[in-house]
Structure 1
């Protein structure tokens, strides 16, 4: 039957359901077969809390789940605020730590400046440097990081049938991994940038490149060509479907890892 794979293009906006897209697929001996593609708004509504709760519950139906947001912080920030651990980060963001993305990001920037001593406010994890990803509390992704950890990963981390990799180890029915569609497209030699917005032809090129890697997109071509969010969820599924039993990682385990 193959293992079930879920790829998610995440959003931390107040109306997250509009741009949070999911691709459901099955990994078979012949490759990855897409079985469904839809927005969170269609399933649970546009409200962020409802969309994230629905995603968290849906995730445990799959063998591996790829989520497109930073799972952790650079080690210097974990050491300062989270007792050096990823579970400490979860406790910080769900407990008496910053209670909104702006406070979260400003706290991280202040700590970074004190740590570097040269005014540098943005630190990146080793995996961010390897995959050309943004700092986890950059203004572009701070909402995703804050709400992703707080609303989604915190619940999955406490589920005995789930494991958030690589921070949690051991057998689990559901493995949850961090992915980055831009890095996936770059790895495939496709458009890493410039495929969003009005660039439907470039999205079509990226789809063709994915299909060439033994991925059957079924009847969802129009959805992927029409919406870059939908297409990013496909890329997330492709990377999640490649995760092996003991995948390698870059940098400290507690910093997390972007799987491509």
Structure 2
């Protein structure tokens, strides 16, 4: 596989909106080569930067992205909402108005539910990309709403307002800026026919599934190697966050190759790169 794009470093980020975000946000660092992706390191923010508050964790992640112009980052949270429940007609305005429209994660979830219920009779709506790529949950789902809120408000919004990264596909691929893509590990595994329920957990069967997924990923055309330490960490991390960051890096690498001619809806709602 030839290296067709100018981003030499690929990061996969397993994001979290939990109070212990520094323990739950995992980052996989990989190198793009002409033979595929070389997965070389994996860590959580606490290991790298010490014990951090939730807000400080988001600040550190944002700074890492902004200071890496030759890199592409894949983050696993929704970058937008369904068109029917937002007022703005473009994504940049949606981002600029986000903190004004939604004061905290709970207000965010409630307002999204109220509007969706009024318009459609359903509390939770999926975006086009959620439907097409089989993401497990819509953006405002109980299991995802904090991740969505903090990802948009505390990571994407600062990057957009400071113009320190380009968020795809809503913004153009400016070579001198880092690129940020939305990914979803479950969607990538489904696309690769590697989706196994139960790979997250402390049971031996879950550990075996994590190793099986790694083995199959390593044999794919997109991966040229996985560092032994990354392999060990990904198998031993029972929550599956380390493995998800590896999958995120691979999804980012895969997502940068196709010459996608995406409809305008994805430039408003966001697009999952698988």
| 2:155 is the alignment partner of 1:152 | yes
- Structure 1 CA distance for aligned equivalents of residues 60 and 164 of structure 2: 17
Aligned to 1:85: 90
Query: Contact (CA 8 Å) 2:65, 2:165: kept in 1 or not?
Result: no
- Structure 2 CA distance for aligned equivalents of residues 10 and 207 of structure 1: 20
SS of equivalent residue, structure 1 residue 216 = strand
Give the gaps of 5 or more residues in structure 2.
none
| 2:227 is the alignment partner of 1:218 | yes
- Structure 2 CA distance for aligned equivalents of residues 56 and 192 of structure 1: 32
| 2:185 is the alignment partner of 1:181 | yes
State how many pairs are aligned: 254
Query: Contact (CA 8 Å) 2:16, 2:147: kept in 1 or not?
Result: yes
Per mean C-alpha deviation after superposition, the further-off stretch among 126-135 and 84-93 is: 84-93
Q: 2:78 aligns with which of 50, 70, 75?
A: 70
| 2:124 is the alignment partner of 1:122 | yes
User: What displacement does 1:248 show?
Assistant: 4.2
| 2:98 is the alignment partner of 1:99 | no
Per mean C-alpha deviation after superposition, the further-off stretch among 246-255 and 210-219 is: 246-255
| 2:57 is the alignment partner of 1:51 | yes
Query: Contact (CA 8 Å) 1:78, 1:85: kept in 2 or not?
Result: no
Q: TM-score if structure 2 supplies the norm length?
A: 0.87
Give the gaps of 5 or more residues in structure 1.
none
- Structure 2 CA distance for aligned equivalents of residues 237 and 24 of structure 1: 7
- Structure 2 CA distance for aligned equivalents of residues 59 and 170 of structure 1: 15
- Structure 1 CA distance for aligned equivalents of residues 268 and 47 of structure 2: 35
Superposed CA deviations along residues 132-180 of structure 1, whole A, max 9, x for unmatched, are 2211111111001100011110122134452101111142421100000
User: What displacement does 1:245 show?
Assistant: 7.1
- Structure 2 CA distance for aligned equivalents of residues 202 and 125 of structure 1: 30
Aligned to 2:210: 203
- Structure 2 CA distance for aligned equivalents of residues 145 and 111 of structure 1: 17
Query: Contact (CA 8 Å) 1:165, 1:176: kept in 2 or not?
Result: yes
Q: TM-score if structure 1 supplies the norm length?
A: 0.92
- Structure 2 CA distance for aligned equivalents of residues 143 and 192 of structure 1: 25
Aligned to 1:135: 138
Query: Contact (CA 8 Å) 1:69, 1:145: kept in 2 or not?
Result: yes
Q: 2:26 aligns with which of 21, 26, 30?
A: 21
- Structure 2 CA distance for aligned equivalents of residues 162 and 222 of structure 1: 32
SS of equivalent residue, structure 1 residue 247 = coil
> Relative to structure 1, is the Cα distance of residues 160 and 97 closer, same or farther in structure 2, using a 3 angstrom cutoff?
closer
Aligned to 2:272: 258
RMSD, aligned CA:
1.8
Aligned to 1:37: 42
